[in-house]
């Protein structure tokens, strides 16, 4: 893994679009541009997948082309319809509309026929070696491969055996079909790769009609070719598969021009893992409540957390597409989230760790409401009336009996401004037997209703509040980094070792201004002075902190410039 990337310069045009431009100029695909997004339905999508989605669907949009969603459903053991449904939902949420939804399993007949055609031409053979032996005999970078004793079978014998594999004559794992390429090829992928294996596993689409399944290498490029994909974009790990991708296609009669594979750098983010396998482990181990836990870097997770899809798209377009792997700071992604929410989120008041304030000179039973601005970034969002009364909740942190130096908030004798309300002065703190402050008695100045004192006197801080008589109760989850290490597992250690045990802090006594009972599921609002918070998708009395207010990315950049 390379260094954390420090540059924020947006790329105007990436190397993949440059290549497409060149192909269009040379007429290679007749000016046609078709991509695909090919997830395996063995888990839900994560933030890394969003990069591939933005790239593939984005290119189709830019070039007036086509981008289909294709499920690479060739491994029935781990796949499930619920993942298929979830992936479709997540892509729609991210803001993309596939031109079609297709499945590699739709092509099982064609893939099978193509395999027979390889066999007939002496380009594939049935091997009786087990998986372990095949792997051993593949050799290494410095050692040549060892030919299988079955490599010399005649096309007739291979055809009979392959049909037997299909028809159930052999046990799982007893035989495989391999391409006959070169056991001494410098690229290990080309040393007679396996094309078909026997698996008696129910497939979510083809049921029990197939017991042999094509491997990735036999299914992927051919699926591209069947669909008339022009540019097959995948992550760098598939670089070494490209010669095999081309070999397979070059040996078949294709219905369209041969697609070309291009690799780009996967998205890595600090303090996060983007691997379905590792994310699945978090779910299976019960560390997360599910794939849609607001702490998960899955698309379902970040949706619950309140990340706007538009901000994710803007981030992906900003970081561009590179040819070498790198890791982006999660703070950069968060700054995109914050920028978007600053523009769109309504401002509201909420107290997370409440401390009771009694305004002793406020007449008992007097009702009042203060006008507050809904979004200073968007005048059209207007204002709202926030009920005010004799008893208020403020944050415990906003009052100190013994203030440290430079503490400008409430302390006995000190006057502060209540946001959209009056100036109040702390007169007396009521403590319990242990000396904890349980209530603060204050007085207010009725002349300061507009947030200014007529005599021009100043206060050094403004704090938020909620009327105790009108407050609604809520549970609020605060989140920290999922992993304490910036590059979990990068040094070869178990990434789970740096899982942050304090990544979630749950506050169950939060008090919200009453208008917050009207939020819609998933709506993100700014709790003034605290951050952006998303109303839970299922439970409206639960909020998730999306991001804090401080732009940590700006600080990181300043530090790097020094
Ligand atoms: P994982 O390793 O998390 O299981 P995968 O590559 O096996 O991911 P697929 O379902 O096969 O998952 O991925 C679908 C597409 O998304 C592939 O084209 C893959 O290259 C791409 N993709 C997966 N992870 C990332 C990532 N971190 N950044 C960019 N693209 C990714
Ligand atoms: Mg994969």
How far CA 140 is from CA of 143, 182, 185, 186, in Å, comes to: 5, 14, 10, 9
Cross-strand bridge partners of residue 352:
none
Check residue 554 and give its pLDDT.
Answer: 83
CA dist., res. 251 & res. 282, Å (int): 43
Is 338 inside any structural domain?
Answer: no
Domain presence at residue 9: no
At 539, give phi and psi (nearest 5°).
-125, 110
Backbone φ and ψ for 170, nearest 5 degrees, come out as -130, 160
| Residue 520: DSSP 8-state | P
Domain check: are 223 and 75 in the same one? Answer: yes
Helix (H, G, I), strand (E, B) or coil at 483: strand
User: Quick check: helix, strand or coil at residue 141?
Assistant: coil
Domain end (from 450, 471, 492): 471
Which residue has 């918070």 as its token pair?
533
Task: Clarify whether residues 541 and 506 are in a common domain.
Answer: yes
Q: Which residue has the tokens 């491997």?
A: 215
Residues 233 and 96 in one domain: yes
- Shared domain check, 112 and 100: no
What is the helix (H) or strand (E) element at residue 422, kind and residue range? none
Domain boundary pick from 449, 471, 493: 471
Q: Residue 287 Cα, ligand 1 centroid: separation in angstroms?
A: 23
Of the residues 38, 52, 58, 71, which should be mutated to test ligand 1's pocket, given the most ligand atoms within 8 Å of the CB?
52
* Ligand nearest to the backbone CA of 54: 1
Which residue has the least CA distance to atom 23 on ligand 1? 49
| Ligand 1 closest atom vs CA 275 | 3
Distance of CA 477 to the CA centre of its chain: 19
Residue whose Cα lies nearest atom 15 of ligand 1: it is 39
Mutate to test the pocket of ligand 1, among 71, 94, 235 (most ligand atoms within 8 A of CB): 235
Residue 2 within any structural domain of the chain: no
Q: List, for the chain, all residue ranges whose pLDDT scores fall below the cut of 50.
A: 1-11
Are 359 and 415 spatial neighbours (Cβ–Cβ below 8 Å)? no
Chain centroid offset of residue 498 CA: 19
**Could you tell me the two tokens for 104?**
């590699």
Substitution candidate for ligand 1 out of 5, 14, 39 with most atoms within 8 A of CB: 39
> For residue 69, is it within any domain?
yes
User: Coil, helix or strand for 4?
Assistant: strand
Residue 25 half-sphere exposure, CB side, CA atoms within 13 Å? Answer: 6
**How many structural domains is the chain composed of?**
4
CA of 352 to the centre of ligand 2 (A): 42
Which residues carry out catalysis?
40, 266, 276
Q: Closest ligand to 56 CA? A: 1
**Residues 149 and 93 reside in one and the same domain:** no
- CA torsion 166-170-174-178 (nearest 10°) is -30
10 part of a folded domain: no
- 176 and 228 share one domain: no
The answer to whether residue 1 sits within a structural domain is no
> What's the CA-to-centroid distance between 456 and ligand 1, angstroms?
61
**Cα–Cα–Cα angle for 211, 194, 165, nearest 5°?**
30
DSSP 377: T
* CATH code where residue 489 lies: 2.40.240.10
Find tokens 């899955």 and name the residue.
298
DSSP type of residue 47: H
Instruction: Note the pTM of the prediction, 2 decimals.
Output: 0.94
Q: What gap in Å lies between CA 340 and CA 531, rounded to an integer?
A: 13
Tell me if 71 sits within 8 A of 40, measured CB to CB.
yes
Task: Identify the nearest ligand to the CA of 37 by its number.
Answer: 1
Say whether both 506 and 441 belong to one domain. no
Task: Answer yes or no: do 90 and 239 share one domain.
Answer: yes
CA 93 from centroid of its chain's CA atoms: 12
Question: Do 77 and 119 have their domain in common?
Answer: no
Give residue 6's pLDDT: 41
Distance CA 12, CA 10 (A): 6
Ligand 1, pocket-test mutation among 36, 40, 48, 75, most atoms within 8 A of CB: 48
Domain's final residue, options 444, 471, 498? 471
SS (H, E, C) 159-179: HHHHHHHHHCCCCCCCCEEEE
Quick one: which atom of ligand 1 is closest to the CA of 41? 10
- 411 in a domain, yes or no? yes
Pocket of ligand 1 (CB under 6 A): 38-40, 48-49, 51-52, 72, 234-235, 266-267, 274-277
Mark whether 302 and 396 lie in a shared domain. no
What secondary structure letter does DSSP report for 100?
Answer: -
CATH assignment at residue 160: 3.90.800.10
d(CA 322, CA 109): 37
* Strand locations in 153-193 (E): 176-179
> Measured between alpha carbons, how far is 136 from 145 in angstroms, rounded to an integer?
8
Query: Under a CB-based contact definition with an 8 Å cutoff, are residues 542 and 474 in contact?
Result: yes
Distance CA 289, CA 77 (A): 23
Q: Which atom of ligand 1 is nearest to the CA of 237?
A: 20
Ligand 1 atom at minimum distance from 233 CA: 18
Cα–Cα distance for residue pair 431/433, rounded to 1 Å? 7
Atom of ligand 1 nearest to the CA of 266: 28
**Domain of 365, in residue numbers:** 350-471
Q: How far is the CA of 237 from the centre of ligand 2 (A)?
A: 10
C-alpha of residue 223 to centroid of ligand 2, in Å: 15
* Ligand 1 mean position, distance from CA 53 (Å): 10
166-170 CB contacts, 8 Å cutoff, 24+ apart: 166/112, 166/210, 166/211, 166/212, 168/211, 170/198
What CA–CA distance (Å, rounded) separates 176 from 166? 11
488's enclosing H/E stretch is none
Look at the chain and count its residues: 562
Contacts of 50 (CB under 8 A, 6+ apart): 94, 267, 299, 312, 316
* Residue 238 CA, closest ligand 1 atom number: 20
238 and 281 share one domain: yes
173 and 120 in one domain? yes
Residue 7 within a domain = no
Residue 46's CATH number: 3.40.50.620
- C-alpha 519: how far from its chain's center? 24
Ligand 2 centroid distance, CA of 360 (Å): 65
Ligand closest to the CA atom of residue 46: 1
């Amino acid at each position: 893994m390379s260094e954390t990337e420090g540059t924020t310069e947006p790329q105007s045009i990436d190397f993949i679009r440059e290549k497409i431009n060149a192909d269009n100029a040379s007429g290679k695909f007749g000016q046609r541009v078709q991509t695909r997004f090919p997830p395996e339905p063995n888990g839900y999508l994560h933030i890394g997948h969003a990069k591939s989605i933005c790239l593939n669907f984005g290119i189709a949009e830019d070039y007036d082309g086509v981008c289909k969603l294709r499920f690479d459903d060739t491994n029935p053991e781990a796949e499930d319809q619920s993942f298929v449904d979830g992936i479709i939902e997540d892509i729609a949420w991210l803001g993309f509309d596939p031109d079609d939804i297709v499945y590699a399993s739709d092509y099982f007949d064609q893939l099978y026929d193509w395999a027979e055609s390889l066999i007939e031409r002496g380009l594939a053979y049935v091997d009786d070696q087990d998986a372990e032996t095949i792997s051993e005999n593949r050799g290494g970078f410095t050692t040549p491969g060892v030919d299988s004793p079955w490599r010399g079978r005649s096309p007739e014998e291979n055809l009979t055996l392959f049909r037997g594999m299909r028809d159930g004559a052999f046990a799982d794992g007893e035989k495989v079909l391999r391409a006959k390429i070169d056991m001494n090829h410098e690229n290990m992928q080309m040393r007679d790769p396996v094309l078909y294996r026997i698996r008696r596993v129910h497939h979510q689409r083809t049921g029990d009609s197939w017991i042999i399944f094509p491997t990735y290498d036999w299914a992927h490029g051919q699926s591209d070719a069947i669909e008339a994909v022009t540019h097959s974009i995948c992550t760098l790990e598939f670089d070494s598969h490209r010669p095999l991708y081309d070999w397979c296609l070059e040996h078949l009669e294709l219905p369209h021009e041969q697609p070309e594979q291009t690799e780009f750098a996967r998205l890595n983010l600090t303090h996060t893992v983007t691997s379905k396998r590792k994310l699945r482990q978090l779910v299976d181990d019960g560390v997360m409540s599910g794939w849609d836990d607001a702490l998960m870097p899955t698309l379902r997770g970040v949706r619950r957390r309140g990340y706007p899809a538009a901000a994710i798209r803007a981030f992906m377009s900003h970081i561009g597409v590179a040819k070498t792997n790198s890791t982006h700071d999660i703070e950069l992604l968060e700054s995109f989230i914050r920028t978007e929410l600053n523009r769109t989120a309504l401002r509201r008041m909420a107290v997370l760790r409440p401390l009771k304030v009694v305004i002793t000179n406020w007449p008992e039973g007097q009702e009042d409401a203060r006008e507050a601005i809904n979004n200073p970034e968007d005048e059209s969002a207007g204002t709202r009336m926030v009920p005010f009364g004799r008893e208020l909740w403020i944050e415990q942190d906003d009052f100190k009996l013994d203030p440290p130096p430079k503490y400008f908030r409430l302390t006995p004798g000190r006057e502060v401004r209540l946001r959209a309300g009056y100036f109040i002065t702390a007169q007396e703190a009521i403590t319990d037997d242990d000396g904890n402050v349980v209530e603060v008695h204050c007085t207010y100045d009725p002349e300061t209703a507009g947030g200014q004192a007529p005599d021009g006197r100043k206060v050094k801080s403004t704090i938020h509040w909620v009327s105790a008589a009108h407050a609604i109760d809520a549970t609020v989850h605060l989140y920290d980094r999922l992993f304490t290490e910036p590059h979990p597992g990068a040094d070869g250690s178990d990434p789970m070792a740096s899982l942050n045990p304090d990544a979630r802090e749950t506050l169950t006594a939060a008090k919200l201004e009453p208008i917050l009972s009207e939020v819609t599921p998933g709506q993100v609002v700014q709790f003034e002075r605290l951050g952006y918070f998303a109303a839970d998708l299922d439970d409206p009395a639960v909020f998730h902190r999306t991001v804090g207010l401080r732009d940590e990315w700006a600080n990181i950049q300043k530090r790097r410039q020094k």
